[in-house]
Structure 1
């Protein structure tokens, strides 16, 4: 079993760290807020007072942070206080450019680095059912397999350093676009007089079926947008997607439109809501709802 320093005990990181404790790993966590630290201690882990304390003498170091800037802030500290040969796994969703930077800097300082963003939202983290897309070397991926098994259901090495973040960008592109279309489908059925609930049941069982329809159709119909993944964060991810597409010289007109819809939701004050709250944007564009 591994000794793990886990940085970032928020909505996703907290249950993930708990699963690692349950799997028998020795987990020490750090977060700027007390809530995640208390949950980790209740689960049987330990709380650190700093990044340095969390990562010192650990053979695995994990980060689960919101944005590139947070990784850029903590990674130099991780490099300074980690043991050479340690395995660093970043579960955050950041740009491929920053992921490659951590890999380059880590290699210079004796760290083995994997970028391993996840998909599945809060429920996936709670149920240890995340999908994990990993960039790095085959040897490091193999070494990290027990970690992935503890927190995820599906995981794969998708390429070299930064590749995990590329696949996560593609994931968020599809998720955002699907939410936008499901929102429009709901409004279409409701306003044409069809039973939208039964209609979505039928859609979910056919070619239009998706994980989003499976998990979110009831809450969307109820206009229940308690966040599992906030519009604010998806807005950040769409920025990553647009930047990656420009660098790759790939045209993504549907992605650009989705980015604008998500940005509109944020501008309307819905940033703290679940990204299924794109339904509110669709309502506003149709002259319905409060916006």
Structure 2
């Protein structure tokens, strides 16, 4: 472990954040944690972590790095710049690592604002779902200054397997938008292939096995296809959250005058499931929209 970074603050202990914070603790980093729902801090307190009373209190305790893993752009802004936010308690030289998925444009604005307080922002959204978070095999898309990213490398290696430094602040979030485009379009292909299999009399599970080793093979196919076939829609990543991410994609695409027809279709499937009360289901529940439209049961 890089001796220059020993004390890590962690804000946001949801499905992803809790697993990532746990892997940091296993790697030997000393943790101070804060979560809006305080009860989620209890498992970490039992393992020796310090529990802060607010983001400002966490920052005042003097961590070398504070990691954020919260829901949306507005949440990041509040955690950083609110009355009890990080800036209110931070010491000069702090590095903030934002693992949330938020707007690339807002990230650039936050980085400039934090720089005025001698705080460096590194955006580092992740991909790999709850499984990757637990197993420490996430893909991490990093934007920020070279020197800060180099110092953070041991931390990133504790939570991820593929670490890509894309460039300046905001480039990590831009890459995450690209990631979400590829993910949802890939998942749409898996669901549509399963619908075709069912309609033509194929055993869906056998079809998934048959195509997994060829050009159709993907993470979505290997991990979510079998769950759809079993009717397992428990969340690793919820539809409500992917819709939030696709809102960021939509805004970015609109600013760039970029048509994303496939992504828009996938978003429509997700919205149909959410409108029927399935927003808290896992993203694989996109299949429910295909089942309704095609009058087909994918199990």
TM-score (normalised: structure 2): 0.94
| Alignment partner of 1:115 is 2:123 | yes
Please give the residue correspondences for 1:116-195 in structure 2 after superposition, counting only pairs within 5 Å: 116-195=124-203
- CA deviations 1:124-143 (Å, max 9, x no partner) are 11111110001111111101
- CA deviations 1:100-129 (Å, max 9, x no partner) are 122011111100110100001111111111
> Structure 2 residue aligned with 1:5, among 3, 6, 9?
9
Identify the residue that residue 72 of structure 1 maps to in structure 2: 77
Please give the residue correspondences for 1:15-30 in structure 2 after superposition, counting only pairs within 5 Å: 15-30=19-34
Count, aligned residues: 289
Identify the residue that residue 64 of structure 2 maps to in structure 1: 59
> Structure 2 residue aligned with 1:198, among 199, 206, 221?
206
Farther-moved stretch of structure 1 (275-284 vs 242-251) = 242-251
Secondary structure in structure 2 of the residue aligned to 1:61: strand
- CA deviations 1:18-56 (Å, max 9, x no partner) are 111111111100001134201212333221121122122
Identify the residue that residue 42 of structure 1 maps to in structure 2: 46
Identify the residue that residue 262 of structure 1 maps to in structure 2: 270
| Alignment partner of 1:224 is 2:228 | no
Matches of 1:178 and 1:273, distance apart in 2 = 18
**How many Å apart are 1:288 and its aligned residue?**
4.1
Show structure 2 runs of 5+ residues with no match: none
Q: Is the 8 A contact 2:141 2:175 kept in 1?
A: yes
Secondary structure in structure 2 of the residue aligned to 1:180: helix
Please give the residue correspondences for 1:213-252 in structure 2 after superposition, counting only pairs within 5 Å: 213-252=221-260
Q: Is the 8 A contact 2:58 2:89 kept in 1?
A: no
Please provide the CA RMSD for this pair: 1.2
Matches of 1:35 and 1:23, distance apart in 2 = 24
Matches of 2:6 and 2:90, distance apart in 1 = 14
Matches of 1:93 and 1:204, distance apart in 2 = 29
Secondary structure in structure 1 of the residue aligned to 2:15: coil
- CA deviations 1:131-158 (Å, max 9, x no partner) are 0001111111101111101111111111
TM-score (normalised: structure 1): 0.96
Show structure 1 runs of 5+ residues with no match: none
**How many Å apart are 1:160 and its aligned residue?**
1.1
Matches of 1:238 and 1:146, distance apart in 2 = 31
Secondary structure in structure 2 of the residue aligned to 1:12: helix
Matches of 1:283 and 1:93, distance apart in 2 = 30
Matches of 1:67 and 1:225, distance apart in 2 = 23
Identify the residue that residue 85 of structure 1 maps to in structure 2: 93
